[in-house]
Amino acid sequence: MQTLGLQDSDWLTTLPCRVMPYHDEWLGSLLLRCDEANCWESGETFRFLRRSTRHPGIGPRSSLIVAPRPILDCLAQCLMISREHLLATTYFTELARLYPPIWYEPSKEPDPRNLLGLHYRRENWSRRRELGPKEVAIERRIHLCPACIAQKRCIRRTVVLPYLQSCPIHHIVLQEHCPCGSPLSFFSQGRPPFVCDTCGLHWGQWPQTKTDSARVALENDLFSLYEFFLKKGTPDLRLLAWHLARHRIKETEELSLKLSGKTIKTQRLRRHPSLGYLVDILLSVGVSPDDITTDNTLRR
Amino acid sequence: MSDTTRRPPFVLNRVFLETAFERRFQGWLRHAWQNRSWHLIAALPGSGKSLGIHDLVLHSGAYKEATGTTRLPILAVCSPKNDVREQGLVSALSQAFGVLPTMSASFRRAWLVRMMAQTQVECIIIDDAQDLNLRHLAFLKELTDNLAAPPYQRSLGLCLVAAHGGNDVPFRATFGGPEVLWQQFHRRLDTENRYIIVPGHSEEELRPILATFEDLYRYQLPDLQLHRWTKPIFTWLTNPILDPDVTGRVAMDNLTKLVTIAMRRAYERGATDVDATILDEVANLMILRRNEITRTDDVPPGEKGPEQEAS
């Protein structure tokens, strides 16, 4: 990446300290590293981007699984890196390929709920007085791997994938709470980045609990399905996997989902499932990526 | 069509010249940077102080790497003109690092200290320091004191670069005052060279500058021989109107104006060198007719009105 000198006009339009995304780093983690490198409070870069662009599609509880283009463009300018580098910190490209926009809205950005599921809280809902879908919607689980933080100050993009409970690299349980009991909060005003906003304990010092072997095996299968769809997935492949799953469960009336723990009626399966929901069903009926690529029954 | 109308417009060369003044001036700035000493450096308006600061800062080795490492050895800013509060100077110093989010005044002061330590600032240069007020100066002392204290323990050089008139320098009376703050400030200034006046160019120093101008403009005026006119140019530019303090030295701004206007006039008349008439004309313009009002229906040289363009 280019080193900036004072003779470059970009000196004054970039952050005092520029940070590059690590491989497979999540956008939220990059923003926190920007805060740390620039001696700012946690979330200062995120709030600066929101104020700079005034884009309505991003809120303080945003999953940052996809980020609006104006926000990415502003950050790309501030760090003097390409938008492609920043897109790689989100699942924007992968979701756009898996769930292409409808023909009459070709410029529509991918919806994070295509990954998280329809029951998850939308990120740009405005506050309402009465109890509405926002209030009954499920909050996205946020967690992190203390070992990744301790080693590289990095939260991987993969930790935002639904149902994943352990780090695919370190095989330790992803933590949602500080040992003091306080829930994890990524952008807490008035606190330095990467620490608990209640007791100030560094996230890298949170307990590192090994995942049991049964869960490791399940998570490996889960991760390989996510990898398959996110790397190679297309709408056709998604549809093929869906039909394969339906084909396997056509004899049964009810299906117990391994990841979400729900029991669903097979007649009421959603026709356009989110990736999280699809992966849950595929894993529950024992469909692997190899099955999808080699199955010729449905292709015929 | 005559020869003169076929020539392309005269092109000014704005390259930085390392003149004798700049060597002296930048020498003192470098001295402060290397020895972490404090000085008040004064020179006549138009001497080339700001250009000298810009050139030094550009070559100071500042960089921003994509790995999060930024280095800014010299933090040079212009004194705030429209904010008499110390916050004006805090903002000016902070903004030299790049784009910043909105921060409260107290947070920004603390942030500035941390960022200066992190980016290894070694010297602060304040241009147009004559516009600083006492609150700004008090803040500079606070800032450098904070950096000198643990955990940073960094001592900084400080250059207050001011334009002066007469044989005195700004703030000399202030720093000599009985208040404790100014006594402390005075104590921090370099013992041997607290107040420095960097003079303009002597007659001997004009000759190489004129030779450099010849090299720069030779492709437009092939027979240019400016150095022949060193003595008259020096005499004109040390006229009491252009040198009111009677220093007997030439300011770079006056020299550049005289030479470039003369060269442009010669070029527009189709000449290949400047002559005594043109130089005399320009010198008169700068000395005797310096406050003259121009009433004209003409468009500026090189510009064409819509009617002329249409025809």
What angle separates helix B252-268 from helix B230-237, to the nearest 10 degrees? 120
For chain A, the DSSP string reads: -PPEETTSGGGGGS-SS-B-PPTTB-HHHHHHHHHHHTT--TTHHHHHHHHHH--TT--TT---SS--HHHHHHHHHHHT--HHHHHTTSSHHHHHHHSPPPTT-TTPPPPTHHHH-TTBPPTTPPP-SS--HHHHSBPPP--B-HHHHHHHS--BGGGGSTT--B-TTT-BBPB-B-TTSPBP-SS-TTS-TTB-TTT--BGGGS--PBPPHHHHHHHHHHHHHHHHHHHH--HHHHHHHHHHHHHHTTT-SEEE-TTT--EEEGGG--SS--HHHHHHHHHHTT--HHHHHH--TTT-
Do the Cβ atoms of B62 and A6 come within 8 Å? Answer: yes
Question: Residue B250's pLDDT is what?
Answer: 94
pLDDT tens, chain B, 311 aa long? 445 556 788 899 888 999 999 999 999 999 999 999 999 999 999 999 999 999 999 999 999 999 999 999 999 999 998 888 889 999 999 999 999 998 889 999 999 999 999 999 999 999 999 999 989 999 999 999 999 999 999 999 999 999 988 778 888 888 888 889 889 989 999 999 999 999 999 999 999 999 999 999 999 999 999 999 999 999 999 999 998 888 899 999 999 999 999 999 999 999 999 999 999 999 988 887 777 777 888 777 665 544 444 33
Indicate the residue of B57, B66, B111 with minimum beta-carbon distance to A39: B111
Give φ, ψ of B263 to 5 degrees: -65, -40
Question: Residue A1's pLDDT is what?
Answer: 66
Tokens, residue A117 = 């599921």
Q: How far apart are alpha carbons B241 and B245 in whole angstroms?
A: 9
Question: Residue B7's pLDDT is what?
Answer: 78
Name the residue of chain B whose CA is nearest to A3's CA.
B65
Indicate the residue of A33, A39, A79 with minimum beta-carbon distance to B114: A39
Question: Residue A126's pLDDT is what?
Answer: 43
Do the Cβ atoms of A2 and B58 come within 8 Å? Answer: no
Question: Residue B123's pLDDT is what?
Answer: 97
Cβ-proximal residues to B9 (8 Å cutoff; 6+ apart), any chain: B302
Distance from CA of A84 to the nearest CA of B (A): 16
Question: Residue B308's pLDDT is what?
Answer: 42
- Whether A250 shows a pLDDT value over 90: the answer reads no
Q: Letter for the amino acid at A137?
A: A
Q: How far apart are alpha carbons B85 and B18 in whole angstroms?
A: 36
Residues of A near B (Cβ–Cβ under 8 Å) read: 1-7, 11-20, 33, 37-40, 44-45, 47-48, 51, 78-81
The answer to whether B68 and A35 have CB atoms below 8 angstroms apart is no
The answer to whether B232 and B278 have CB atoms below 8 angstroms apart is no
Pairing status of strand B195-197 against strand A263-265: unpaired
Q: How far apart are alpha carbons A138 and A118 in whole angstroms?
A: 9
Q: Which one, of B285, B291, B283, lies nearest residue B236 by Cα?
A: B283
Q: How far apart are alpha carbons A49 and B99 in whole angstroms?
A: 11
- Whether A243 shows a pLDDT value over 50: the answer reads yes
Indicate the residue of B66, B101, B115 with minimum beta-carbon distance to A20: B66
Q: What is the pLDDT of residues A251-283, one digit of tens each?
A: 777 778 888 888 887 777 777 788 888 888 888
Question: Residue B301's pLDDT is what?
Answer: 63
Give φ, ψ of B260 to 5 degrees: -70, -35
Beta bridge partners of B299: none
The interface predicted TM-score of the complex, written ipTM, equals: 0.84
Q: Letter for the amino acid at B99?
A: V
Cβ-proximal residues to A224 (8 Å cutoff; 6+ apart), any chain: A288, A289
Q: Which one, of B3, B48, B50, lies nearest residue B21 by Cα?
A: B48
